[in-house]
């Protein structure tokens, strides 16, 4: 991979990581969820293409503990919404299956986490129509599923879904151009809303978006 492309790719990974870590700040905004899901898919396409051309992806994959922390933050938001819906609906069985705290996720073993959270994602999908009123979007559920698949891969388990199979057939430069366009034409513009409402988050986003090298 050319140095310029590598630098842009590392920027994309840094921004993806920053958004995952601060999921609670933007997750209630549907359009950002849509753009984030596109970013995740394009980055997965890059990873698959790098494997195809024989380049090592070591160092690009998120550390397992960091990824688990990010997943636990997403689960806290989504499980909270599903649990609230279950209680309002007086559905105690659903509440029992839906309720997961951040600490619960962090305590799960590597072999337990994917199965438990895949079940949660299925419940979220099943009740998605009702959960719209609770601030849950389809993009958030897709993002959680993608993160769980990333975790499976990180701990050496096979991925359940290869969402980027078609993207992996495209060239690295094409994928990187799409990622750059997603940032400059869409993501950067919607993030402007945080410039005054949450300046520290916005500053962190701008820092992550900086291409080093």
By C-alpha distance, which of 171, 174, 153 is closest to 162?
153
Is the per-residue pLDDT at 152 higher than 90? no
**CA atoms within 13 A of residue 94's CA, in its CB half-sphere:** 19
pLDDT of residue 186: 95
Task: Give the start-to-end residue ranges of the domains of the chain.
Answer: 3-208
Q: How far is CA 203 from CA 8, 141, 162, 208, 209, in A?
A: 19, 27, 33, 9, 10
Contact 172, 114 (CB under 8 A): no
Is the per-residue pLDDT at 149 higher than 80? yes
Q: Which residue has the higher pLDDT, 53 or 202?
A: 202
Is the per-residue pLDDT at 64 higher than 60? yes
Mean pLDDT, the chain, as a whole number?
85
Residue with tokens 């690295």: 172
């Amino acid at each position: 991979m050319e140095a310029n492309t590598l630098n842009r790719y590392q920027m994309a990974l840094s921004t993806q990581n920053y958004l995952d870590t601060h999921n609670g700040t933007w997750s209630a905004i549907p359009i950002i969820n849509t753009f984030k899901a596109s970013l995740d898919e394009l980055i997965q396409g890059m990873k698959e293409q790098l494997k195809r051309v024989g380049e090592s992806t070591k160092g690009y994959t998120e550390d397992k503990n960091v990824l688990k922390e990010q997943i636990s933050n997403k689960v806290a938001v989504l499980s909270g919404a599903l649990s609230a819906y279950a209680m309002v609906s007086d559905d105690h069985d659903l509440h029992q299956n839906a309720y997961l705290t951040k600490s619960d996720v962090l305590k799960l073993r590597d072999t337990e986490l994917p199965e438990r959270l895949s079940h949660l994602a299925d419940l979220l999908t099943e009740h998605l129509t009702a959960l719209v009123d609770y601030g849950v979007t389809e993009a958030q559920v897709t993002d959680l599923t993608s993160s769980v698949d990333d975790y499976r891969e990180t701990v050496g388990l096979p991925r359940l879904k290869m969402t980027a199979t078609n993207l992996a057939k495209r060239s690295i430069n094409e994928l990187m151009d799409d990622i750059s366009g997603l940032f400059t034409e869409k993501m950067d513009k919607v993030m402007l809303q945080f410039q005054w409402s949450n300046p520290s988050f916005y500053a962190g986003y701008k820092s992550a978006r900086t291409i080093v090298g």
